[in-house]
């Protein structure tokens, strides 16, 4: 009996494997996040070379900004609305990402979290 059948009584089906890949974008230093599925690849979003903007595949554009002097953080927001969707703070073992209430309500915020990791990497390289 397959493992998932034992665990959940056979009520779910096994999904084909997917793989997330970060590759260089069209602009030097930019990054593209793609998901590879058995049916092919599809782009999820892009990070600018300097790490200051994220463009989701659906066309939504977000800004990435470093804030705070005494307690630094990186925020992901839009230009047209106040407040961030995601906040990243340095921790002992890297960065801790937190969704704000607006981020919890934002469709596609999980992809935004993945792209924020690439944006922070670009910001650290500057």
Give strand pairing partners of 56: 45
31: which 2 tokens?
């990054």
pTM reported for the whole predicted model: 0.76
Question: pLDDT tens across 46-68, in order?
Answer: 898 888 999 998 999 999 999 98
The two tokens of residue 103 are: 């981020």
Query: Counting beta carbons within 10 angstroms of the beta carbon of residue 43, is it exposed (0 to 12), middle (13 to 18) or buried (19 or more)?
Result: middle
Is the Cβ–Cβ distance between 60 and 71 less than 8 Å? no
pLDDT of residue 17: 57
Ranges of residues in the chain with a pLDDT under 50 are: 1-12, 14-15
Read off the tokens for 93: 């073992």
**Angstrom distance (rounded) from CA 18 to CA 63:** 28
């Amino acid at each position: 009996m397959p493992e998932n059948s034992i665990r959940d009584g056979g009520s779910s089906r096994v999904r084909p494997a997917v793989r997330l890949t970060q590759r260089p974008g069209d602009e030097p230093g930019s990054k593209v996040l793609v998901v590879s599925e058995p049916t092919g690849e599809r782009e999820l979003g892009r990070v600018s070379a300097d790490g200051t903007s994220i463009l989701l595949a659906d066309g939504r554009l977000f800004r990435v900004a470093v804030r705070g002097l005494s307690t630094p953080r990186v925020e992901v927001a839009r230009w047209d609305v106040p407040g961030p969707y995601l906040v990243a703070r340095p921790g002992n073992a890297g960065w801790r990402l937190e969704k704000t209430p607006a981020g919890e309500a934002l469709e596609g915020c999980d992809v935004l979290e993945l792209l924020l990791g690439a944006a922070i990497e670009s910001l650290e390289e500057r």
